[in-house]
Amino acid sequence: MVLQSDPVFSFFRPLEISGSLKGTPYSVLPLLWTSKASYSIPTRKDEIPADPAYDENRGDRTGPFIVGAEFVWNLDEAKEEALQEGGEEEPAPPKKTARIIVYGDSDFANNFFVDLLANRDLLVNSVDRLALEDQLIGIRPERKASGKEQWFISSKQGYWSFMLAVVIEPAIFLSLGAFVFLRRRLT
């Protein structure tokens, strides 16, 4: 798959790929790996250690790890094996395959992370790959140009914006309203 930058995975688990499922032949195409500098921390009951730095005594493993893979089953081969066992012959239909794409993290596609770096491209390209629409796989143009259509303010500017909009402006209108009310009452 083609990605412009790396996807962001918040808490991922490395994939362990071994064996076959119920005798059905399948092939594995690794899609995403971590860097050589990555490491895996064993957790119990999803508890994150207080010090997540690499610790060999804790049982940490060094990378790279596979964090995304595509599994492809050739259903025609499985059917041929079943026919050989049963002895019946059928005409060979076109090749049929089943595909599954597995990632070691599920929340890369949620609303919070989907706009970060290449997460949207990874999600859309995965769906295109599963739909056998390989010609649609690619990098999508940015919907917003960096630095444009964005408004950044400092914490001081945010504080004064809050004070003006929530405290000072309502206080002015409340004071004017009280002034008009009292003036009409007294005259």
Whether 125 is in a domain gets the answer yes
Cα–Cα nearest to 12, from 36, 56, 48: 48
Whether 65 is in a domain gets the answer yes
Identity of the residue numbered 49? P
Give the pLDDT of residue 36: 87
| Intervals of the chain under pLDDT 50 | none
Q: Are residues 159 and 108 in the same domain?
A: no
Whether 146 is in a domain gets the answer no
Measured CA to CA, the distance from residue 33 to residue 144 in angstroms comes to 28
| Alpha-carbon radius of gyration of the chain | 29
Give the pLDDT of residue 62: 83
Q: Are residues 112 and 72 in the same domain?
A: yes
Measured CA to CA, the distance from residue 79 to residue 92 in angstroms comes to 10
Q: Which domain holds residue 180?
A: 151-187
Q: Are residues 165 and 92 in the same domain?
A: no
Instruction: Single out the residue in 109, 136, 163 at which a domain terminates.
Output: 136
Number of domains comprising the chain: 2
* Burial class of residue 67 (count of CB atoms within 10 Å of its CB; 0-12, 13-18, 19+): buried
Q: Are residues 123 and 164 in the same domain?
A: no
